Amino acid sequence: MIRTSIALSALALALSAAPAVAQSPARAMTVQDLLTLKRVAAPVVSPDGKWVVWQQTDTDPASYKRRTGLWRVASKGGTAERIADIADAGESAPAFSPDGKHLWFISDKSGKDQLWSLDLAVAGATPTQASDFKADVAGFSLSPDGRRVIAWGDVARDCPTLGCDASGDTSQPGPGTGRLYKDGAGFVRHWDQWETPGNYSRAFAFTLGTDGKLGSEAVALDGPPGTLTGDTPTKPFGGAEEIAWAPDSKGAYFVARQADRNEPRSTNTDIWHSALDGGAPHNLTAENKASDTLPAPSPDGQWLAWAAMARPGYEADRLVVQLTNLRTGEHRPLAQGWDRSVGSIAWTPDSKALIVTAEDVLDNPAFRIDLPSGKVTRLKLAPKGLTEGHIGGVTPLKDGSILFTRDSSANPAEVYIAAKGKPGIELSHANDAQLAGLVPLNSTRFSFTGANGDTVWGMIHKPANAAGKLPVLFFVHGGPQGSFNDSWSFRWNPRVFASQDYAVVSVDFHGSTGYGQAFTDAINRNWGGGPLEDLQKGLAAATARDAALDGGNACALGASYGGYMMNWIEGQWPDRFKCIVQHDGVFDARAMAYETEELWFDEWEHGSHTYYDAPGEFEKWNPVNFVAKWKTPMLVITSEKDFRIPYTQGLATFTALQSKGIPSELLVFPDENHWVLKPKNSLQWHQTVMDWLNRWLRK
């Protein structure tokens, strides 16, 4: 009874902390709403457990300029307040000092991203700048004893600290503007940037002075020049999860991949240890030629956990938790029989268990893995009545509670805290007021028998006030090893599309994640086979299940692999849809094999072959071979900074459509990559897509 009363009291407090919302008729969610919703991330808790701080990005509804700041609330709930607010600047990446007296973060006040701190023990204190490097600080990590900090950013390989006058770039010898990449350069371009050989993401350890400033002496984690050449954190998406202090603060673990001629074909990232003495780091996972990542030493210093793949060259192989006893050297996989791929690792403060996240049948929940048994338990962290959705930013606390973020198809991320064995309570409430005025989203999960007789899952999203028949938007996810699961997206968002009086249907076809590794592997060498069968059967199952879906009035939409599938549907399922939206999709597999940058992906998907070794592997599922059958109107979208699926693939698609006289449009963004991220570009993207859909689906 006492625990129940406490839980109810805490829930009442959390609800009372939510902003008061005037009751008025709900309206449909718009693109403007999507762009201006708050973006909450990176929650941290004070060492005494009393305070929670997170970063929050706000978008001006007129100019669409974004600014990130820091917010604080009591861990028991209450009214959040802005903290460490610096005029005409942004603040991000909060971290408490181990003694709880200072809040550290990154700010761009000086014109560069640098480290700042706020003295929490002094009322009304103003933030002070703690570093003045020549390079931008991309991220940082405080040592457990509070005496040192690791900071990282892009610098020359021979630069002894975080930034030198020269960038180290060897690709521009002059006198003209041409870039010269010498034999064995490796990546020439990656994701959305031309590579600068000689310049890498590098991490350095600095001492912290009594004045709160970083000392001038730097220790490079990657050792002296000639020891290790590569990016740490790795590019393009590596971050703080790839760097970890040893609990005694005497060393650090980090992830890196050797940068050489083999890098475009290598997924061989390794866990390295640096003693931070100026010497060379030690490769702890040299025997594994596949990916090793997410280093996480236990608080008691006895164990090192990390995640590892088994198959070199495969970026979507299962990430299995590995465990090494740092005192004896004994190594073993943990929960080897658990057929899920971990996405994050965090230790409980008592070093007796790990809290990990992993995709699992349309959710991305948290799991507890006990030592030494390896027993896996799925945790229920979401508030009662809600799905787990997408759990992230997990931090286990000393009292057994867990701090985390949660988002879903209906809601963007908010910060939550869950007492041990209890559902989570929302702390941030950043978007409650805005969402309260919008028509809710109704989401339904369904399953059916797909290719190979396997169970396949999907989702149907509709506005809660839907009436009559709804035109259908058939979303096809990218990856292809991915999922259109119960999570929020600021790019492909089911709620904003459904709010325009559409039904959004998605299917996690063979190749999707969260259903076991065999299901994920099934798309290999089978891009246009099993997945298309799943999509066909899944759309039929959805329309049969829900009478409100107007299955004869449908358009298909997809990006990346989903864009490939749009081109494939044009030639293989040409009479099903009234229109297609194709974003960054593969049109010609032959050109793609020679134009993309991460070669390991394209080669693995075609049986670990290059095109010249086995052209038949690429031509079997090549959309360009079936253009003669194309007839469905298509909107093509591409971006000039997309080096994963170069914009020439989109141009070729549009050329094929135009030459056949098929109604088609082409939208090209000169300043975007594989994703459309800038607010005004996102607005234009949505307006163009909505206009195209309305043209073909509205009577």
What H or E segment, with its residue span, contains residue 538? helix 530-545
Q: Residue 259 is encoded by which pair of tokens? A: 């940068």
Distance CA 272, CA 284 (A): 6
N- to C-terminal Cα separation, the chain: 59
Angle at 267 (CA atoms; ends 263, 268), nearest 5 degrees: 90
- Name the residue type at position 426: E
Q: Residue 453 is encoded by which pair of tokens? A: 């007789």
The answer to whether 641 and 650 have CB atoms below 8 angstroms apart is no
User: Residue written as tokens 């990446």?
Assistant: 93
Just list the catalytic residues: 560, 642, 674
Q: How far is CA 484 from the centre of its chain?
A: 13
Count CB-CB contacts under 10 A for residue 113. 21
- Residue of 9, 5, 6, 11 whose CA lies nearest to 424: 11
- Residue of 527, 393, 500 whose CA lies nearest to 42: 393
- Residue of 272, 267, 268 whose CA lies nearest to 252: 272
Distance CA 541, CA 578 (A): 19
DSSP structural state of residue 213: P
Distance CA 42, CA 60 (A): 21
What H or E segment, with its residue span, contains residue 358? strand 353-358
Distance CA 302, CA 351 (A): 9
Q: How far is CA 389 from CA 57, 77, 381, 406, 412, in A?
A: 21, 22, 10, 7, 11
Residues β-bridged to residue 623: none
- Name the residue type at position 610: T
- Strands 148-156 and 199-208 turn out to be antiparallel
Question: Rounded to a whole number, what is the largest CA-CA distance in the chain?
Answer: 79
Count CB-CB contacts under 10 A for residue 484. 28
- Note if the bond before 197 is cis, omega within 30 degrees: no
Order the strands of the 102-107 sheet from edge to edge: 91-96, 102-107, 114-119, 128-129
The answer to whether 58 and 110 have CB atoms below 8 angstroms apart is no
User: Residue written as tokens 């599922």?
Assistant: 621
CB under 8 Å to 581, separation ≥6 — which residues? 555, 556, 557, 558, 566, 634, 635, 637, 689, 692, 693
Q: Residue 7 is encoded by which pair of tokens? A: 């839980």
User: Residue written as tokens 């709880």?
Assistant: 100
